[in-house]
């Protein structure tokens, strides 16, 4: 190739790439979980694929560990357009869309794979469609954390042992009711305070999942890990409604599709990660591990169901869909 032609081609290529980066949009994505958490890994993987598939038009910067504020604050930022995206607990969204509480029905699904089928089913997807109107953000897809369990600083053989105990919960109505029915005093508390609070007796136990118990080392302060898998704990990918309105349709499809794809990988991830983490915890020999099914909770499950069937018709629909998955 002639030097002059080569130079012209190089000039065009550099110009094109500068153009792409000059116009590149950095999407800021907030999470409350730590940088090492599977949700953060999913956000980063999504960002890499988005940068590649958009030819550098978009990039994603994840802000884990609540660097941008708590979830209520992030929700406001999404509404004003100060934040572009979040991978947010559905627990937080239930404060504004109470019907989503039905997703936390005890023993609705047996594991995170079933959770994936249910969350991609008609009832859960209809709930997502309501978000732009009800919270001013677009729900692009669900993922999940590992199934809920308890890490207690006291010996625990059955639900009766929870009576009068102070249990750390994520504060939202379906879980608050669950522990209230068990006779426990539910204590709302950010995850970061749990380790010390277990040590100093501010709480006696924690409603959490195996990833948190392992990564945040709660097992070091526990007596019994009740491996109950009693609820799923979904996460939702949210895009600011303001940003969404400005995006061309093909970019909405790309961003929404990739967020959903990477959130959906979590359904399978926890199948293996949860087994690995339980093994890690068992190997420390710091806590007794007790497997618990619905019978552990006695009549509390029926009482919870009666309360919530009255509060939201969505629960009956979800139960029907869940029964068909098994
Ligand atoms: C919790 O509050 O227990 C929680 C928050 C984020 C991810 C998983 C669990």
Mean pLDDT, rounded, of the chain: 93
Q: Are 100 and 87 in contact (CB under 8 A)?
A: no
How large is the average pLDDT for residues 250-268?
98
Tell me the pairing of strands 185-188 and 166-169.
parallel
Nearest CA to ligand 1 atom 1: 170
Among 208, 211, 236, residue to substitute to test ligand 1 (most atoms within 8 Å of Cβ): 208
The rounded distance, in Å, linking the Cα atoms of 101 and 43 is: 24
Reported as a single tens digit per residue, the pLDDT across 122-149 is 999 999 999 999 999 999 999 999 999 9
Among 212, 213, 214, residue to substitute to test ligand 1 (most atoms within 8 Å of Cβ): 212
Reported as a single tens digit per residue, the pLDDT across 77-112 is 999 999 999 999 999 999 999 999 999 999 999 999
Q: Is the pLDDT of residue 16 over 90?
A: no
Q: At what angle do helices 173-181 and 300-311 cross, to 10 degrees?
A: 150
Q: How far is the CA of 2 from the centre of ligand 1 (A)?
A: 61
**Coil, helix or strand for 54?**
coil
How large is the average pLDDT for residues 284-306?
98
Reported as a single tens digit per residue, the pLDDT across 217-257 is 999 999 999 999 999 999 999 999 999 999 999 999 999 99
Residue 63 corresponds to which tokens in the numbers above? Answer: 């802000």
Query: From the alpha carbon of 39, which atom of ligand 1 is closest?
Result: 7
CATH 3.40.190.170 fits 25-145+232-274, yes or no: yes
The rounded distance, in Å, linking the Cα atoms of 192 and 78 is: 24
What CATH number was assigned to the domain covering residues 148-231+285-325? 3.40.190.170
Among 33, 143, 266, 274, residue to substitute to test ligand 1 (most atoms within 8 Å of Cβ): 33
- Where are the domains positioned within the chain? 25-145+232-274, 148-231+285-325
Tell me the pairing of strands 148-152 and 205-209.
antiparallel
**DSSP secondary structure letters along 264-305:** HHHHHHHHHHHHHHHHHHHHHT-SEEEE--GGGGTTHHHHHH
Total number of residues shown for the chain: 326
**Coil, helix or strand for 90?**
helix
The pLDDT > 90 percentage for the chain reads 91
Strand order through the sheet with 58-63? 58-63, 25-30, 85-89, 234-240, 137-144
The rounded distance, in Å, linking the Cα atoms of 167 and 154 is: 11
Helices and strands per DSSP (H, E), number in the chain = 14, 11
- Fold match between domain 25-145+232-274 and domain 148-231+285-325: yes
pLDDT at 191: 85
pLDDT at 190: 83
Reported as a single tens digit per residue, the pLDDT across 155-206 is 999 999 999 999 999 999 999 999 999 999 999 988 889 999 999 999 999 9
Vertex 37, ends 233 and 234: CA angle to 5°? Answer: 15
Which among 137, 139, 134 has a CA at the least distance from the CA of 120? 139
Task: Please give all residues whose beta carbon lies within 6 A of any atom in ligand 1, as ranges.
Answer: 32-33, 89, 145, 170, 191, 208-209, 212, 233
Please list, in sequence order, all residues whose beta carbon lies within 8 angstroms of the beta carbon of residue 198, skipping any fewer than 6 positions away. 151, 153, 204, 205, 206, 218, 221, 222
Nearest CA to ligand 1 atom 7: 33
């Amino acid at each position: 190739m002639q030097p002059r032609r080569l130079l012209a081609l190089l000039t065009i290529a550099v110009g094109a790439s500068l153009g792409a980066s000059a116009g590149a949009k950095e999407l800021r994505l907030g999470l409350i979980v730590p940088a090492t958490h599977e949700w953060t890994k999913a956000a980063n993987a999504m960002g890499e694929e988005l940068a590649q598939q958009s030819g550098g038009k978009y990039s994603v910067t994840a802000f884990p560990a609540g660097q941008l504020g708590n979830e209520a604050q992030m929700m406001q930022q999404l509404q004003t357009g100060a934040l572009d995206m979040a991978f947010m607990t559905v627990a937080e969204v239930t404060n504004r869309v109470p019907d989503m509480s039905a997703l936390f029905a005890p023993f609705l699904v047996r594991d995170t794979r079933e959770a994936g089928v249910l969350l991609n089913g008609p009832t859960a997807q209809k709930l997502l469609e309501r978000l732009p109107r009800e919270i001013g953000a677009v729900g692009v897809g669900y993922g999940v954390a590992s199934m809920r369990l308890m890490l207690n600083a006291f010996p625990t053989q059955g639900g009766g042992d929870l009576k009068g105990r102070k249990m750390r919960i994520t504060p939202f109505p379906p879980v608050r009711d669950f522990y209230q029915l068990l006779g426990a005093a539910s204590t709302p508390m950010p995850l970061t305070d749990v380790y010390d609070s277990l040590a100093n007796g501010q709480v006696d136990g924690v409603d959490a999942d195996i990833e948190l118990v392992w990564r945040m080392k709660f097992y070091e302060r526990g007596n019994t890990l009740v491996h109950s898998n009693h609820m799923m704990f979904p996460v939702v990918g949210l895009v600011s409604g303001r940003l969404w309105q400005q995006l061309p349709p093909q970019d909405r499809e790309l961003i929404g599709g990739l967020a959903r794809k990477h959130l959906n990988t979590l359904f399978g991830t926890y199948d293996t990660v949860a087994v690995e983490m339980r093994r890690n915890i068992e190997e420390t020999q710091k806590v007794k591990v007790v497997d618990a099914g619905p019978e552990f909770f006695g009549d509390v499950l029926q009482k919870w169901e009666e309360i919530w069937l009255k509060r939201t018709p969505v629960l009956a629909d979800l139960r029907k869909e869940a029964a068909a998955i098994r």
